[in-house]
C-alpha cells in the first residue's frame, strides 16, 4: 500500500541520483502542487534548486507578498519576480477566454525564460504536474474534450530552454500530494489552500481586463474568502472564488440611483475538479458576505450565488 513516508523516501533518493549536483529551476505558483514539489526537491538537492515565483498581477489580494514570505520561511531558494505590468499590458483589450489564457501563457514563458537564463548552468526544469494534469493534457491532444480549455500548466515551454524535465508528483493525486506535504512538515494552512487557476483572476473577470477590474475583484474575493475562514467554512469547500460579470445593474444607495457591477460568488465541493456541486452555504453567511461586499467595494451593487453543477457548467466561468 502507498504511504506518504515511503513516497518521500524513494522520491528523494531517486531525485538525488537522477540530478546529482546539477542545478534545477522550478516555477512556484503559490499552490499546493508546486510547493510540495519544491519541498521534495529542496530535501533532495538543497540550494541547487532555484525557485521562481512570478506575480502576474492576477493573484488574490496580498497573495504575492504573503506567499513569497512563506516560501522564504520554508528555507527555499526563491526569487520573486513582479511582472504584473507585463501581463496586464499584454491582456489589454482582450476579452476572449482562450485568447486571454494564451496571452498569459506566452508572457509567463517570456518572463520565466528571462529569469531562468539568470540561473547559470541550470540543466533541469522541475514542475508540480500531478496525475490528473497528465491525463487532461493527454486527452487535450485528441479526445472529445480536446479544445474545451487550454490548461497551460503542462507543456507549452519553448524548445530553446533545452532543459530536462523532472516531475516528482506526476504519478499521484491531489489528496496524496497533501499527505506528502504533511509528511514534509508543511503547514495545514498551506496544504489546505483551495486550487487556483494559473491564469488567475483573468478568467474570473468576464470580458476584457483592466487594472480597476482586477482591484475590484481582489477586494470582493478577499471578503468572500476571509469570510469563509472566519466562519469555519473554508475547509468544507473544495474551491471558492468570485466572478466579475460584464453586466451593470441598477441599484439604489441613499437617495441615489446606481448603475454598477454585479459579482457572482461560487463555492464548490469536488474531489478532483472533474465534477463538482455547489455548496449549500448558510444563508446567514451569504447575507453577511453580500452586505460586506456591497458596502465596502466601490463599484459593486449586486451579488449573486452560482448554483450550477459541473457538468454541465464548469467551475470557472471562462
Ligand atoms: P473548470 O472551469 O474547467 O475547472 O471546471 C476545473 C479546475 O481547473 C481549474 N482551471 C484552470 N487551472 N489553468 C489552470 O491552471 C487554467 O486555464 C484553468 N481553467 C480552469 C479551475 O480553477 C478548477 O479548479
Please determine, for residue 154, whether its predicted confidence score (pLDDT) is greater than 60: no
Residue 147: predicted pLDDT? 39
Residue 152: predicted pLDDT? 47
Ligand 1 midpoint to CA 316 (Å): 6
Task: Please tell me the least confidently modeled range out of 115-119, 221-225, 240-244, 298-302.
Answer: 115-119
Question: Is 79 near ligand 1, meaning CB less than 6 Å away?
Answer: no
Q: Which atom of ligand 1 is nearest to the CA of 313?
A: 5
Please determine, for residue 40, whether its predicted confidence score (pLDDT) is greater than 90: yes
pLDDT tier, 133 (very low <50, low <70, confident <90, very high otherwise): confident
Average pLDDT, the chain: 92
* ipTM greater than cut 0.95: yes
Which residues does residue 302 pair with via DSSP β-bridges, in sequence order?
A: 262
Residue 161: predicted pLDDT? 62
Residue 148: predicted pLDDT? 41
Question: Is 193 near ligand 1, meaning CB less than 6 Å away?
Answer: no
Ligand 1 midpoint to CA 104 (Å): 14
Please determine, for residue 241, whether its predicted confidence score (pLDDT) is greater than 70: yes
Ligand 1 midpoint to CA 197 (Å): 5
Instruction: Please choose from 197, 269, 276, 313 the residue to mutate so as to test ligand 1's pocket, defined by most ligand atoms within 8 A of CB.
Output: 197
CA 290 – CA 288 distance, rounded (Å): 6
pLDDT tier, 142 (very low <50, low <70, confident <90, very high otherwise): very low
Query: Which of 255, 269, 257 is closest to 195 using CA atoms?
Result: 269
Query: Domain 4-191 is of which CATH architecture?
Result: 3-Layer(aba) Sandwich (3.40)
Which residues does residue 166 pair with via DSSP β-bridges, in sequence order?
A: 126
pLDDT digits (tens, 9 = 90+) for 4-39: 999 999 999 999 999 999 999 999 999 999 999 999
Ligand 1 midpoint to CA 2 (Å): 28
Candidates 3.30.300.10, 1.20.58.220, 3.40.50.720, 3.40.50.1380; correct CATH number of 204-305? 3.30.300.10
Ligand 1 atom 17 nearest Cα:
151
Residue 156: predicted pLDDT? 53
What is the percent of the chain where pLDDT is above 70? 92
Question: Is 199 near ligand 1, meaning CB less than 6 Å away?
Answer: yes
CA 58 – CA 100 distance, rounded (Å): 12
Please determine, for residue 160, whether its predicted confidence score (pLDDT) is greater than 60: no
CA 315 – CA 275 distance, rounded (Å): 9
Question: Is 197 near ligand 1, meaning CB less than 6 Å away?
Answer: yes
Ligand 1 atom 18 nearest Cα:
197
Question: Is 129 near ligand 1, meaning CB less than 6 Å away?
Answer: no
Residue 135: predicted pLDDT? 85
Question: Is 315 near ligand 1, meaning CB less than 6 Å away?
Answer: yes
Residue 136: predicted pLDDT? 76
| Close Cβ partners of 75 (under 8 Å, ≥ 6 residues apart) | 42
Domain edges within the chain? 4-191, 204-305
* Own/partner pairs, 208-215, CB within 8 angstroms, 24+ separation: 208/91, 208/92, 208/93, 208/94, 208/95, 209/58, 209/88, 209/91, 209/92, 209/94, 209/100, 210/92, 211/88, 212/299, 213/244, 214/57, 214/58, 214/88
pLDDT digits (tens, 9 = 90+) for 215-233: 999 999 999 999 999 999 9
Residue 139: predicted pLDDT? 58
pLDDT digits (tens, 9 = 90+) for 169-211: 999 998 899 999 999 999 998 999 999 999 999 999 999 999 9
Ligand 1 midpoint to CA 317 (Å): 10
Please determine, for residue 143, whether its predicted confidence score (pLDDT) is greater than 50: no
Rg (CA), the chain: 20
Question: Is 132 near ligand 1, meaning CB less than 6 Å away?
Answer: no
Asked if residues 61 and 160 have their Cβ atoms less than 8 Å apart, the reply is no
C-alpha cell at 122: 541550470
**Who has greater pLDDT, 134 or 246?**
246
Residue 155: predicted pLDDT? 54
Amino acid at each position: 500500500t502507498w504511504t506518504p513516508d515511503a513516497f518521500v523516501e524513494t522520491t528523494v533518493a531517486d531525485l538525488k541520483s537522477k540530478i546529482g549536483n546539477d542545478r534545477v529551476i522550478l516555477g512556484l505558483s503559490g499552490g499546493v502542487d508546486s510547493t510540495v514539489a519544491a519541498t521534495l526537491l529542496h530535501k533532495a538537492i538543497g540550494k541547487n534548486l532555484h525557485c521562481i515565483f512570478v506575480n502576474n498581477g492576477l493573484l488574490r489580494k496580498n497573495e504575492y507578498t504573503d506567499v513569497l514570505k512563506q516560501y522564504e520561511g520554508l528555507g527555499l531558494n526563491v526569487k520573486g519576480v513582479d511582472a504584473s505590468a507585463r501581463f496586464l499590458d499584454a491582456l489589454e483589450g482582450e476579452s476572449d477566454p482562450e485568447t486571454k489564457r494564451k496571452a498569459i501563457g506566452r508572457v509567463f514563458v517570456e518572463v520565466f525564460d528571462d529569469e531562468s537564463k539568470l540561473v547559470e548552468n541550470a540543466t533541469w526544469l522541475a514542475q508540480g504536474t500531478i496525475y490528473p494534469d497528465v491525463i487532461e493534457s493527454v486527452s487535450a491532444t485528441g479526445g472529445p474534450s480536446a479544445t474545451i480549455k487550454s490548461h497551460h500548466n503542462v507543456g507549452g515551454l519553448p524548445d530553446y530552454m533545452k532543459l530536462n524535465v523532472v516531475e516528482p508528483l506526476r504519478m499521484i493525486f491531489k489528496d496524496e500530494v497533501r499527505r506528502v506535504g504533511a509528511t514534509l512538515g508543511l503547514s495545514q494552512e498551506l496544504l489546505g489552500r483551495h486550487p487556483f487557476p494559473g491564469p488567475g483572476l483573468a478568467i474570473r473577470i468576464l470580458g476584457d481586463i483592466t487594472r480597476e477590474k482586477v482591484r475590484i475583484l481582489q477586494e470582493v474575493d478577499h471578503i468572500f474568502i476571509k469570510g469563509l475562514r472566519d466562519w469555519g467554512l473554508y475547509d468544507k469547500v473544495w474551491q471558492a472564488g468570485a466572478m466579475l460579470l460584464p453586466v451593470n445593474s441598477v441599484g439604489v444607495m441613499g437617495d441615489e440611483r446606481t448603475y454598477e457591477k454585479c459579482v457572482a460568488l461560487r463555492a464548490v465541493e469536488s474531489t478532483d475538479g472533474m465534477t463538482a456541486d455547489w455548496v449549500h452555504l448558510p444563508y446567514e453567511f451569504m447575507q453577511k458576505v453580500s452586505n460586506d461586499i456591497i458596502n465596502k467595494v466601490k463599484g459593486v451593487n449586486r451579488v449573486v450565488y452560482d448554483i450550477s453543477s459541473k457538468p454541465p457548467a464548469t467551475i470557472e466561468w471562462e
